[in-house]
């Protein structure tokens, strides 16, 4: 290995004592390739297995905790015990290649397409539709329904434990229900789940508490719990960097095993809400978090040099999404000193060799600008 990249391969011990073999993680990526009943397909399992050899952790695509939270066609399910064998199959395939398997869990809230949820009943913190064409009109959740969803996050965590996962990641990012509760744009509630910044944190923090209490009851200390968040929203009002730093400050004291920012550009800078807009979001986050909990950084890391520059910011862990679709051997190539052989654009002729299921492949090649090379 080129010594320049050696630090990416140093182990990291999480707070719960679990050792990650290196600093490289597969980012969660929805693949829309499961069966209509919510079970995983062989194509999907093979896609993960192909990418689980080099990284220390694989975070799965997001899975819904309750039927009203389904967000994508052919998304895999974790909302009922009958899904445990399917969930287990995926965990085993990842672990067999040497990576930790982390199940990402969510509720899509107002981002659910009407046709995917029971009775077309799309729900959110309040009745504010998403800012996008064709967005559904959501209904504001009643307080007891909010409690039910918190409970469902706990139940899905229990299923992840029973299915043999190494951990779960609470998906509080990308505009889905947890973020909708934190957002002053989406959350206009006047009960204990809305209003001030503190009150808008009630739902996210209640989910963290619920997940952790289920872990304490059903798993041992080695079970990993992470939390993913998006730093800012474009709307005004909307989540600002300042609000996120406040949330992160609270989360950092929650005894989580990691925090995970969601970004498409690792080096992006804040829009507003902090004095220094020239400092990257990652730098602001690291400053707030300090040594309390490891942060996973992510976003457009394609080459070994990109990874080195990102890692040099002091971020303890790096996630790769699109690049691991493009080159499943990315980590091994660096480990073997073959970083010059890394491929950074999708080769449209190589679906089979890359082991990518048909629906994900179609999405990639039909969405110009999403993946390099398309
Ligand atoms: C195909 C695709 C599906 C994604 N699905 C999810 C998801 O299910 N959950 C999530 O938190 N992020 C999801 N993301 C965001 C990625 O985790 C990641 O943050 C983003 O792709 C930027 O990293 P990259 O530049 O390494 O791809 C998805 C991204 C892509 C490209």
Q: What is the pLDDT of residues 280-337, one digit of tens each?
A: 999 999 999 999 999 999 999 999 999 999 999 999 999 999 999 999 999 999 999 9
% of the chain at pLDDT higher than 70: 100
Q: What is the pLDDT of residue 69?
A: 98
Could you tell me the distance, in angstroms and rounded to a whole number, from the CA of residue 27 to the centre of ligand 1? Answer: 6
Output the residue whose Cα is nearest ligand 1's atom 14.
Answer: 29
Closest atom of ligand 1 relative to the 364 alpha carbon: 1
- Those residues with Cβ within 8 angstroms of residue 115's Cβ, 6 or more apart along the chain or in another chain: none
Could you tell me the distance, in angstroms and rounded to a whole number, from the CA of residue 112 to the centre of ligand 1? Answer: 17
DSSP element (H, E) containing 359: helix 358-365
Q: CA distances (Å), 265 to each of 42, 142, 197, 289, 306, in order?
A: 32, 37, 27, 20, 11
The pTM (predicted TM-score) of the whole model is 0.99
Q: What is the pLDDT of residues 206-229, one digit of tens each?
A: 999 999 999 999 999 999 999 999
Output the residue whose Cα is nearest ligand 1's atom 4.
Answer: 29
Contact by Cβ (8 Å): 89, 137:
no
Closest atom of ligand 1 relative to the 323 alpha carbon: 26
Q: What is the pLDDT of residue 343?
A: 98
Q: How many angstroms separate the CA atoms of 264 and 270, rounded?
A: 13
Q: What is the pLDDT of residue 100?
A: 98
Protein residues with CB under 6 Å of any ligand 1 atom: 27-30, 61-62, 104, 171, 173-174, 228, 262, 264, 298-301, 320-323
Q: What is the pLDDT of residue 21?
A: 98
- Report the candidate in 184, 207, 206, 215 with the shortest Cα–Cα distance to residue 106: 207
Q: How many angstroms separate the CA atoms of 278 and 276, rounded?
A: 5
**Across residues 184-198, what is the average pLDDT?**
98
Closest atom of ligand 1 relative to the 27 alpha carbon: 17
CA Rg value for the chain: 19
Q: What is the pLDDT of residue 34?
A: 98
**Across residues 168-174, what is the average pLDDT?**
98
What is the CB neighbour count within 10 angstroms for residue 178?
A: 27
Q: What is the pLDDT of residues 93-123, one digit of tens each?
A: 999 999 999 999 999 999 999 999 999 999 9
Compute φ and ψ for 167, nearest 5 degrees: 175, 180
Q: Given pLDDT bands bounded at 50, 70 and 90, which one contains residue 87?
A: very high
Output the residue whose Cα is nearest ligand 1's atom 5.
Answer: 29
Could you tell me the distance, in angstroms and rounded to a whole number, from the CA of residue 62 to the centre of ligand 1? Answer: 10
Q: How many angstroms separate the CA atoms of 209 and 86, rounded?
A: 26
Residue 319, token pair as written in the block: 């996630």
**Across residues 3-23, what is the average pLDDT?**
97
Q: Given pLDDT bands bounded at 50, 70 and 90, which one contains residue 92?
A: very high
CA atoms within 13 A of residue 345's CA, in its CB half-sphere: 8
Q: What is the pLDDT of residues 340-359, one digit of tens each?
A: 999 999 999 999 999 999 99
Contact by Cβ (8 Å): 258, 251:
no
Could you tell me the distance, in angstroms and rounded to a whole number, from the CA of residue 38 to the centre of ligand 1? Answer: 20
Q: Given pLDDT bands bounded at 50, 70 and 90, which one contains residue 171?
A: very high
Q: CA distances (Å), 284 to each of 228, 272, 314, 319, in order?
A: 16, 12, 12, 18
Q: What is the pLDDT of residue 107?
A: 98
What is the CB neighbour count within 10 angstroms for residue 82?
A: 12
**Across residues 144-151, what is the average pLDDT?**
98
- Report the candidate in 229, 99, 227 with the shortest Cα–Cα distance to residue 166: 99
Q: Given pLDDT bands bounded at 50, 70 and 90, which one contains residue 5?
A: very high
What is the CB neighbour count within 10 angstroms for residue 80?
A: 13
Output the residue whose Cα is nearest ligand 1's atom 2.
Answer: 29
How many residues does the structure list for the chain? Answer: 374
Which residues carry out catalysis?
Answer: 176
Could you tell me the distance, in angstroms and rounded to a whole number, from the CA of residue 186 to the centre of ligand 1? Answer: 22
Mutate to test the pocket of ligand 1, among 321, 328, 362 (most ligand atoms within 8 A of CB): 321
3-state secondary structure of 200: helix
Q: What is the pLDDT of residue 232?
A: 98
279 DSSP β-pair partners: none
Could you tell me the distance, in angstroms and rounded to a whole number, from the CA of residue 28 to the centre of ligand 1? Answer: 6
3-state secondary structure of 62: strand
What is the CB neighbour count within 10 angstroms for residue 279?
A: 14
Q: Given pLDDT bands bounded at 50, 70 and 90, which one contains residue 252?
A: very high
Q: What is the pLDDT of residue 164?
A: 98
Q: How many angstroms separate the CA atoms of 146 and 210, rounded?
A: 13
Residue 123, token pair as written in the block: 């729900």
């Amino acid at each position: 290995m080129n010594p320049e990249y050696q630090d990416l391969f140093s182990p990291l011990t999480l707070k719960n004592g679990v050792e990650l073999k290196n600093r490289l993680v597969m980012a969660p990526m929805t693949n829309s390739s499961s069966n209509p009943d919510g079970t995983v397909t062989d194509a999907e399992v093979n896609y993960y297995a192909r990418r689980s050899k080099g990284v220390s952790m694989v975070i799965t695509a997001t899975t819904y905790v309750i039927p009203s939270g389904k967000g994508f066609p052919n998304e895999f399910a974790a909302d009922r015990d009958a899904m445990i064998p399917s969930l287990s199959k995926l965990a085993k395939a990842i672990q067999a290649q040497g990576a930790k398997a982390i199940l990402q869990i969510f509720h899509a809230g107002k981002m659910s397409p009407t046709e995917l949820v029971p009775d077309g009943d799309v729900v959110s913190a309040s009745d504010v539709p998403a800012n996008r064409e064709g967005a559904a009109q959501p209904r504001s959740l009643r307080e007891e329904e909010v409690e039910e969803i918190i409970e469902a996050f706990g139940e899905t965590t229990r299923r992840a434990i029973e299915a043999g996962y190494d951990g779960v990641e609470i998906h509080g990012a990308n505009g889905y229900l947890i973020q909708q509760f934190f957002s002053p744009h989406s959350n206009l509630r006047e009960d204990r789940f809305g209003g001030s910044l503190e009150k808008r944190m009630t739902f996210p923090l209640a989910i963290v508490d619920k997940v952790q209490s289920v872990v304490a009851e059903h798993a041992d200390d080695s079970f990993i719990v992470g939390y993913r968040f998006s730093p800012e929203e474009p709307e005004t009002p909307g989540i600002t960097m300042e609000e996120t730093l406040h949330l992160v400050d609270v989360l950092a004291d929650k005894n989580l095993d990691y925090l995970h920012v969601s970004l498409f550009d690792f080096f992006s800078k804040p829009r507003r809400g902090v004095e220094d807009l020239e400092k990257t979001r990652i730098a602001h986050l690291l400053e707030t978090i300090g040594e309390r909990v490891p942060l996973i950084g992510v976003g457009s890391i394609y080459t070994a040099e990109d990874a080195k520059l990102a890692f040099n910011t002091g971020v303890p862990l790096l996630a790769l999404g699109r690049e691991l679709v493009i080159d499943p051997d990315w980590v091994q190539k660096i480990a073997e000193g073959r970083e010059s052989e890394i491929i950074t654009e999708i080769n449209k002729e190589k679906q089979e060799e890359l082991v990518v299921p048909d629906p994900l492949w179609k999405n990639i090649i039909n969405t110009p600008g999403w993946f390099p090379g398309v």
